[in-house]
Structure 1
Amino acid sequence: GPDAVLPLPETRLRWSSGRLGGRRTVRVHPVGGGGPVVLLLDGDDWLYLHPAMTAFASAVAAGESEPVTLVFLPAKDRSAEFGCRPGLWEAVRDELLPLVAGSGVPADVSRLVVAGQSLGGLSALYAALAFPELVSRVACQSGSFWWAPGAEEAADPLGGPVGGTIAGLLREGPDLSGLRCAFDVGEHETRMLPHCELAESLTERAGATVRISRSASDHDRAGWRHALVRDVAWALG
């Protein structure tokens, strides 16, 4: 029933980040015995609101995904961490992934997939640009590609230059030939679409292997959950 408590991963890592400050609990869950690390940004939402564990377990059991190890990264301050800024990704590289590797849970960090939604989707694509040796597989849903410094405080955050900061970075001619990036956005997210379409085309032009999908949904996790499992499996392909 609605009061049923979702199962939580047994492995909890206490992450005290020197780079980011503060402490957070990062849960780790091997699906089907474990495998490549799937880093879920906004991890608490995928634990408590929409159960990613069960969705991936079903996909692995059905042969739609290889076994993976889910790492649920909770956000402390989404606006500060998920903009186009290096701090979060330096901390993931230097602190979090070594913690996961030493946790005793089977986890292949060399085939990392980063999955993000909204501002998390923006951050995932930024990571592939700024840290290509770390992030080469991305599942991006409803990415906030309108973002630019100060845009969130604007009267109309989505009304600025199409593609925001990330489009500018993509236009600088990065070599993304090593990147597999799946984009998904809800077809009812009409104001997001121009921003997403530009980011998608520029990413492809930079040499990435891209998959572009449109979900019959709005800016919500119901649409994201289906796309998440499908696109992570594709990114690992």
Structure 2
Amino acid sequence: MNRISLIRCALLLALTSAVAQAASEATLQPGQAVNGQAMSAGSTVWHVGLKAGDLVRGRVDGDVSLRLLDPQGRPLRLLIDGQDQPRAFIFVADSPGAYGLRAEPLDGRPGAPFSLRLEQVLARAEQQQSPPRLASPALAELAGQLAQGGDTEAFWNARKAQGTPLVERLPGQPQQRLVTFLWRGAQHNVRMFGAPSGRHEALQRLGTSDVWYASFEVPASTRLSYQMAPDVPPSDDRRVILATTRRDPLNPATFADSSGDAWLSRSRLELPDAPPQPWVAERPGIARGTLERKRLASDELGNTRDVYLYRPAGWRPGAAGQALLVLFDAHAYTRQVPTPTLLDNLIADGLIPPTAAIIIANPSDLSRQQELPPNPRFARFMAEDLMPWARQHGLSAPAARTVIAGSSYGGLAASYLGLMHPELFGNVLSLSGSYWWAKDGEEPGWLTREYVKATPKPLRFYLQSGLFEGPTILDTNRHLRDVLRAKGYAVEAVEYPAGHDYLQWRGSLPCGLVSLIGRPGEASSQACAEYR
């Protein structure tokens, strides 16, 4: 080879080396895509200049792996394993520097073509959650006004005039409404009890304004009561939320407000399509029964409790055709749910026969938790102490016209007592029964499994649950419903857009009574048509 040829070869080698060096030191910018082939040696490394905390997203397409190199060129981690399906990658830079991205061939597939795209490099300061989309047109309009330097005064003045929560129609969904619950002026947080989600819902803050909100799409027939808890102290104990709960000050509709105390009462939401509750209010000019409070001691349980005895007007002990209601949780069913008034009105309307009631109090919160979930000792108290005692006071009826009823744990207890003593209680009225309950160490749904195993009893059922109660209540009530029907029981099961709520139960209790012991006829069949 002559001297000119040698010079040409040297120049070609130098040019090839320079090209290879340039390729091996290529840089990649956000939004840029490159193509290549994965070689066993001399693979190209694309460099990305990063700051500490930068979030990097990208994608590789092709039968290759992708390795991340640290700023010193040392292998840091495998971002993409070419043997797996995922092709998108994401990582965070621990320190500043030029990180490397190197495509590596798979075994048996050298030279496979690939494409690499750097989709995003997001600085730490930009890594914050996007503000939630404002479903409420009224809030979206307010947000626009705030962005232009406006304030919230006109918005709150409108809320004072119209009341809260904010209710808006949904385009193309005539059976639904958008309901936005609001709070003004909290500093740190706001939680809501009784939300349609079934959770202790956290409200969002509208920017840095004094508006806190939570929006829900709900049926136009929704009924619920709720409380708000502003500036809840930080704690792992969810009961701490109760430290600040109160009714909504801009909602004039209240519930359980006999004390007039904003911290004890609740706010009420009843959308226009909610079924009526025509038996709740006292009516002038009708015959009214009497309510007597007595004390009953139990050697079996080792405690003493209040028992309320309601006798309707004209009640005659032992007379034919009369009925009896046995009901748990007297603290609620003599106050939030005015059971004597409900019975007065149902009887006056001719929907049920003359019906007396035994309304049983709990000696304490602890005793309620021990007695109402399936408890053989409590069942013996009911069968051997309470019912004979009530009979001595002139309150009794055949099992076929006796209803055992309750809500939550009380609904669970009613179904258990029906199973254990159908000779006393021929009708079970359960409102949001806690059928998730199980004995320690067992799966949820103990009582439902007991009904599966037991020979069918002469029982009829009315089961009610709320669509806002979540799977713990709603699904377990549906499971019991299906089991009972499969076993041949007569069951009416209804579900409402409501929560675990006495506001709903004061409408469900009378409809359950009409279903189980109502007098035959068109009036009775139509009385609760909207509740079915």
**What is the TM-score of this pair, normalised by structure 1?**
0.86
Following superposition, the deviation at residue 217 of structure 1 comes to 1.1
In the aligned structure 2, how far is the partner of 1:120 from the partner of 1:106?
Answer: 21
1:148-202 deviation digits (Å, cap 9, x = unpaired): 1248xxxxxxxx845x1012212214213x1111000012112221111101111
Which residue of structure 2 lines up, in the alignment, with residue 67 of structure 1? 354
2:403 paired with 1:123: no
Aligned position for 1:155: none
TM-score, normalization by structure 2: 0.40
- Structure number, greater radius of gyration: 2
- Partner SS state of residue 83, structure 1: coil
Q: CA deviation at 1:11?
A: 2.4
TM-align CA RMSD? 2.4
Structure number having the greater strand percentage: 2
SS of residue matched to 1:108: coil
Q: Residues 2 and 14 (structure 1 numbering): CA distance in 2 closer, same or farther, change over 3 Å?
A: closer
* Distance across 2 between alignment mates of 1:98 and 1:15: 12
Q: Does 1:139 align with 2:429?
A: yes
Shift of 1:132: 2.1
Correspondence for 1:190 = 470
Query: 2: CA distance between counterparts of 1:10 and 1:230?
Result: 22
Structure 2, unmatched stretches of 5+, are: 1-256, 261-281, 283-287, 316-321, 519-532
CA contact (8 A) 1:50 1:221 kept: yes
What are the superposed Cα offsets for residues 12-50 of structure 1, whole Å, 9 maximum, x if unpaired?
A: 332111111111121101124343220111122111332
2:329 equivalent to 1:42: yes
Structure 1 residue identity aligned to 2:416: Y
Structure 1 SS opposite 2:397: strand
- The match for 1:113 among 400, 403, 414 is 403
Alignment-derived partner of residue 18 in structure 1? 299
Distance in 1, Cα, partners of 2:362 & 2:343: 21
Count of matched residue positions in the alignment of Structure 1 and Structure 2: 225
> Does the residue aligned with 1:171 lie in a helix, a strand or coil?
helix
Percent identity, aligned pairs only, is 24
The structure richer in helix per residue is 1
* 1:15 match: secondary structure: strand
1:194-209 matches, within 5 Å, as: 194-209=475-490
Q: Aligned letter for 1:54?
A: T
Rounded to whole Å, the distance in 1 between the matches of 2:328 and 2:395 is: 20
Unpaired stretches in structure 1, ≥5 consecutive residues: 152-159
Give distance in 1, aligned partners of 2:303 and 2:398: 24
Query: What's the offset of the Cα at 1:209?
Result: 0.7
Partner of 2:140 in structure 1? none
Alignment correspondent of 2:225? none
Which residue in 1 is equivalent to 2:141? none
Q: Give distance in 2, aligned partners of 1:109 and 1:171.
A: 26
Tell me by how many angstroms 1:102 deviates: 1.2
SS in 2 for 1:33: coil
- Alpha-carbon offset, residue 106 of structure 1: 5.0
* Secondary structure of 2:494 counterpart: strand
Counterpart secondary structure, 1:212: strand
Aligned counterparts of 2:258 and 2:478: Cα–Cα separation in 1? 38
Q: Which residue of 2 aligns with 1:97?
A: 387
